């Protein structure tokens, strides 16, 4: 055992051969980022790692701007959180003949929420947006209140919604950074993640199965390796807007551009930079690390502690060797200890980066006497049952 300072035991483990050299992005990486930033066509842009919400690159990313149909990312999230996917929506008259992109909904036709979400995301259907808004909240105005409420709950302070579809309005705006935060939340919703990654599908048309064939407007799904979404947008006032996401080797990146004439090229450049420069190092999934802590007075001599959360860091690819540190409340425990009792912390360090997870008891450990007592209780119960069995026969005589 190492020496104990106060009541804290530090047990350091060096993890070998995990990478190369890290502190922050290298000078070469910074020059690369600056060079391609100058070449982006976007007025506003951001590249974010989805799990940690870490910004890897930004360009006027906090300037409020119009968002066009990327609005529908929030429309989809509010809907999915409030209605079951198999809920049947009867298309209201207000959703028929909406300006812009449309799947030509027919008044009174029944469609499920899931089918309308496919129309919303793949075909960018403004009529589907209105149908969902009214199904959720009774009116577009009430639904926009829910959209703004959700924005506030996500900490989006420079975002405001005036409609569920994104048609231009001076009071309808967001920032590239906040749109990336919203998109990260959407990617955590299994159904929405599935829909956003769908290249094509079919939904009914006025009662005819598969009568509407939908093709995703997002070209990144077919043009970029690992692409999983997310949403296109355009109006004459806002210009071309795009949110893309891609996943490689356990790392998910989100790219957002607003008013980008050459958005497809911009997004390939942003995502390439992210995947070329960074990696997600996951050393242990939940429960993947175990530590045997000495146990005094217990049935066993040790109790096993396991990590309660994944141990993972977002790192530049040229990072140094990471180290693990086990920090214990005490160098041993007294029985009994209960399952999920937290008796330490597992810390992963790499350069200036660190993350940690509680170390908790994997399985309750009893005192020796408690085990004997429980055994005696069981034996006494068996004895009583046997006695009652024979007494029942004696009573019959």
* Separation of CA 291 from chain center: 29
**Is position 275 within any domain?**
no
- The verdict on 64 and 212 lying in the same domain is yes
Instruction: Look at residue 382 in the predicted model and tell me its pLDDT.
Output: 79
Listed in sequence order, the residues at least 6 apart from 332 whose beta carbon sits closer than 8 Å to its beta carbon are: 293, 294, 295, 296
Q: Do residues 125 and 249 share a domain? A: yes
Active site (annotated) includes residue 72: yes
Task: Report pLDDT for 32.
Answer: 58
Domain containing 379 equals 372-397
pLDDT at res. 168: 85
For residue 141, give both structure tokens: 């105005």
pLDDT at position 21, please?
A: 28
**pLDDT at residue 169 greater than cutoff 50:** yes
Domain total of the chain: 3
Global pTM? 0.81
Banded model confidence at residue 10, pLDDT cuts 50, 70, 90: very low
Is 268 part of any domain?
no
If asked whether residues 140 and 123 sit together in one domain, one would say yes
Highest mean pLDDT among 38-42, 172-176, 367-371: 172-176
One DSSP character per residue, 281-296 reads EEEE-TT--EEEEEEE
The residue from 44, 72, 231, 312 that is catalytic is 72
Write the CA distances from 255 to 137, 146, 230, integer angstroms. Answer: 31, 25, 9
69 catalytic? Reply is yes
Q: Is residue 178 part of a domain?
A: yes
What is the token pair recorded at 338?
Answer: 């209960």
The verdict on 78 and 224 lying in the same domain is yes
In this structure, the answer to whether residues 393 and 293 fall within a common structural domain is no
Query: CA-CA distance, 66 to 158, in Å (whole number)?
Result: 11
Same domain, 96 and 163: yes
| DSSP string for 126-156 | HHHHHHHHHHHHSSHHHHHHHHHHHHHHTT-
The residue count of the chain comes to: 397
- Give the residue carrying structure tokens 């040229």: 318
- Assess if residue 269 is contained within a domain: no
Half-sphere exposure of 177 (CA within 13 A, CB side): 15
Q: What percent of the chain has pLDDT over 90?
A: 79
Per residue in 138-164, pLDDT tens? Answer: 999 999 999 999 999 999 999 999 999
What CATH number does residue 296 fall under? Answer: 2.60.410.10
Q: Is the dihedral of CA 144, 150, 154, 155 positive or negative?
A: positive
Q: Is 176 in a helix, a strand, or coil?
A: helix
- Cβ–Cβ under 8 Å, residues 366 and 299: yes
E strands, the chain, in order = 9-14, 44-49, 54-59, 88-90, 110-112, 200-205, 208-215, 227-235, 239-248, 251-258, 278-284, 290-296, 302-307, 311-316, 323-328, 333-334, 342-350, 353-361
Question: What is the reported pLDDT for 368?
Answer: 79
* Longest distance between any two alpha carbons in the chain, whole Å: 102
pLDDT tens string 206-243: 989 999 999 999 999 999 999 999 999 999 999 999 99
> Is the pLDDT score of 9 beyond 70?
no
Q: What is the mean pLDDT of residues 167-174?
A: 94
pLDDT in tens, 256-310: 999 999 999 999 999 999 999 999 999 999 999 999 999 998 889 999 999 999 9
Do 296 and 395 lie in a common domain? no
Say if residue 82 is in the same domain as residue 124.
yes
Domain boundary among the residues 199, 231, 261 is at 261
| Mean pLDDT value of segment 62-78 | 98
Residue 34 lies in a domain: no
pLDDT over 70 (residue 29): no
Whole-number pLDDT of residue 388:
76
% the chain with pLDDT above 70: 85
Distance CA 181, CA 185 (A): 7
Say whether 236 is catalytic: no
- Confidence check: pLDDT of 75 > 80: yes
Please answer whether residues 322 and 348 qualify as being in contact, where contact means their C-beta atoms are separated by less than 8 angstroms. yes
| Averaged pLDDT, 302-322 | 94
The C-alpha atoms of residue 185 and residue 182 are separated, in whole angstroms, by 5
Choose the catalytic residue: 44, 101, 114, 124.
124
pLDDT at position 341 is 95
pLDDT at residue 396 in the model:
54
| Within a domain: 78 | yes
On whether both 360 and 380 belong to a single domain, the answer is no
Domain CATH for 168: 3.40.710.10
User: Cα–Cα distance between 359 and 309 in angstroms, integer?
Assistant: 9
Q: Which of 261, 295, 313 is the last residue in one of the domains?
A: 261
Residues 206 and 328 in one domain: no
| From 69, 101, 183, 244, active-site residue | 69
* Cα 53 from Cα 33, distance rounded (Å): 18
Query: Residues 362, 380: one domain?
Result: no
Could you identify the residue written with the tokens 């006025």? 206
Tell me, yes or no, whether 190 and 156 share the same domain.
Answer: yes
Asked whether residue 309 is domain-assigned, the answer is yes
More confident residue, 386 or 327: 327
The per-residue pLDDT for 38 is 72
pLDDT at 3: 31
Asked if residue 176 belongs to a domain, the reply is yes
pLDDT tens, position by position, 362-380: 999 888 765 556 665 666 6
């Amino acid at each position: 055992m190492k020496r104990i300072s106060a009541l804290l035991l530090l047990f350091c483990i060096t993890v070998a051969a995990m990478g190369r050299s890290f502190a922050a992005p290298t000078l070469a990486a910074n020059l690369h980022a600056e060079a391609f930033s100058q070449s982006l066509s976007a007025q506003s842009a951001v590249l974010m790692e989805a799990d940690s919400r870490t910004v890897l690159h930004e360009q006027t990313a906090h300037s409020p701007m119009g968002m066009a149909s990327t609005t529908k990312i929030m429309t989809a999230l509010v809907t999915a959180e409030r209605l079951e996917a198999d809920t049947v929506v009867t298309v209201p008259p207000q959703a028929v003949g909406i300006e812009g992109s449309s799947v030509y909904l027919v008044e009174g036709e029944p469609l499920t929420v899931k089918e309308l979400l496919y129309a919303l995301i793949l075909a960018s259907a403004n009529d589907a947006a209105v149908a969902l808004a009214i199904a959720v909240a009774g009116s577009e105005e009430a639904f926009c209140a829910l959209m703004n409420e959700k924005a506030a709950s996500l900490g989006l302070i420079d975002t405001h919604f005036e409609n569920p579809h994104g048609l231009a309005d001076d009071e309808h705006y967001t920032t590239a950074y906040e749109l990336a935060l919203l998109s990260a939340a959407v990617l955590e919703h299994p159904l929405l993640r599935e829909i956003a990654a769908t290249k094509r599908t079919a939904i009914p048309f006025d009662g005819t199965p598969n009568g509407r064939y939908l093709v995703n407007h997002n070209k990144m799904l077919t043009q970029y390796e690992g692409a999983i979404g997310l949403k296109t947008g355009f109006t004459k006032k806002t210009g071309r807007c795009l949110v893309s996401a891609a996943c490689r080797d356990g790392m998910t990146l989100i790219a957002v551009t607003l008013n980008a004439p050459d958005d497809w090229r911009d997004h390939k450049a942003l995502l390439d930079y992210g995947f070329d420069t960074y990696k997600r190092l996951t050393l242990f999934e939940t429960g993947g690390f175990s530590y045997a802590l000495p146990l005094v007075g217990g049935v066993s001599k040790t109790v096993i502690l396991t990590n309660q959360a994944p141990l993972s860091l977002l790192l530049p690819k040229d990072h140094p060797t990471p180290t693990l540190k086990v920090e214990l409340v005490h160098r041993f425990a007294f029985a009994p200890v209960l399952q999920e009792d937290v008796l330490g912390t597992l810390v992963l360090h790499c350069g200036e980066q660190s993350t940690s997870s509680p170390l908790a008891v994997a399985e309750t450990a009893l005192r020796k006497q408690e085990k004997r007592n429980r055994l005696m209780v069981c034996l006494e119960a068996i004895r009583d049952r046997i006695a009652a069995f024979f007494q029942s026969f004696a009573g019959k005589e």
